[in-house]
Amino acid sequence: MAQFKRSPFLVGLLALSLLVVMAGSSFAAEITLKFAGQNPADHPATVLMEEIAAEVAEKSNGRIEIKVYPTNQLGDYTLVYEELIRGTIDMACISVPSQFDPRLELLYINGYVRGYEDVKKVFAPEGWLLAKMKELNSRLGVNLLGFFVEGMIGTGTTKPVDEPLNPAVNKGVLVRVPNMDVYKLGAESMGYRTVTIPYADVYQSMQTGVCEGVNGYSTAAAYTMLRDVLKHWYMTNYSLECINYMFSGKVWAGLSAEDQKVIQEAVNNAAAKSIVQAKAEDEKYMQMMRDYGIEVHTYSEEELTPLAEACATTWEKLEKNMTKELMDEFRTAMAPGK
């Protein structure tokens, strides 16, 4: 008799438990996406990756969960790109490798931006650059969603530069450049003599006088890595540090149009925010340079026009790897003053 009286209670408890489980399952993610990054957890790029994940989770009512993997946890950018092609990694915020198509080095060309007003236009979601890079990536099975802008690139030296805004004048400085034609040609067009030195040896090379300056460093990188040997920083804005928000084409094709829209909007918001953050980071590190005793030289976009035009004269020499067709399009869309 006692057991019979407990039965309704047990039945009710079972029903309640079932309701709780069902309610919980309604909030469980239906789609889980792996989001690979190359920067540390506290890097601005990774912070924005987390913000993308949070926005997508909110707007999809928890149906889409994005798991962020920073610091090359899923492999370096070349490996991650291959996995995006295969569809074994869903998303990434990485540099774009060029081993599959040298035209993907389009992003690294010098002289097409002079400041953040240019960056806002050039890197806009409706801009030519994004459309062209989307086209080149899509041929490989990767969907480019947007750009993360890290900061402008300047020139750091151990001694004053002769007429830094006049590309016709020999600067009297030997600068280290990355081992890429785009950087070597760009620096030489601005009046610098160049030398290629391994990245790990740059500090010692400047310290011992093997070279007298560097091109190819963002403001933050120059300060954090070279501040003890730098005497001058010229914010010449001849190039830009930029990485890419990418999505596996195979995985993207399996999403609904509604889910694609949610993800794309979240990336658009992060991309726009990165430009604002990058400008603030540049200004922060330039002030830190001043406080450290480094002489910082800044210029208006108009003052930088001669340097941008000088870099543009090198674009024809890039046709060998980039193709004349692509560089003709680039010149039309990106020539200084456009």
Q: How is 270-301 classified by DSSP, letter by letter? A: HHHHHHHHHHHHHHHHHHHHHHHT-EEE---T
Please state the rounded mean pLDDT for residues 184-197. 94
Share of the chain above pLDDT 90, in %: 68
- Is the pLDDT reported for residue 11 higher than 50? no
All residues at 6 or more sequence positions from 326 whose CB lies less than 8 Å from its CB, including other chains: 103, 106, 132
- Is the pLDDT reported for residue 98 higher than 60? yes
pLDDT tens digits, 195-246: 998 877 999 999 999 999 999 888 988 998 899 999 999 999 988 889 999 9
Decide if 7 is inside a domain: no
- pLDDT of 179 reads 79
Decide if 11 is inside a domain: no
- pLDDT of 307 reads 94
Decide if 4 is inside a domain: no
- Is the pLDDT reported for residue 271 higher than 80? yes
Band the pLDDT of 156: cuts 50, 70, 90: very high
Decide if 9 is inside a domain: no
Decide if 10 is inside a domain: no
pLDDT tens digits, 104-132: 989 889 988 888 888 888 998 889 999 99
How many domains does the chain contain in total? 1
Q: CA torsion angle for 196, 202, 204, 208 (degrees, to 10)?
A: 50
Please state the rounded mean pLDDT for residues 321-327. 93
Higher per-residue confidence, 138 vs 179: 138
Q: What residues make up the domain containing 269?
A: 27-334
Token pair recorded at residue 220: 């933050």
Task: Read off the pTM.
Answer: 0.79
Please state the rounded mean pLDDT for residues 311-321. 92
**Residue type at position 227:** R
Please state the rounded mean pLDDT for residues 76-101. 94
Secondary structure class of 113 (helix, strand, coil): coil
Provide the CATH number for the domain around residue 66: 3.40.190.170
Helices and strands per DSSP (H, E), number in the chain: 13, 9
**What is the rounded average pLDDT for all residues in the chain?**
89
- Is the pLDDT reported for residue 4 higher than 50? no
pLDDT tens digits, 35-81: 999 988 888 899 999 999 999 999 999 999 999 999 999 998 899 99
- pLDDT of 19 reads 46
Decide if 187 is inside a domain: yes
Decide if 6 is inside a domain: no
Higher per-residue confidence, 4 vs 173: 173
Q: For residue 278, which of 57, 123, 85 has the smallest C-alpha distance? A: 123
Decide if 276 is inside a domain: yes
DSSP state of 29: -
- Is the pLDDT reported for residue 3 higher than 80? no
- pLDDT of 178 reads 83
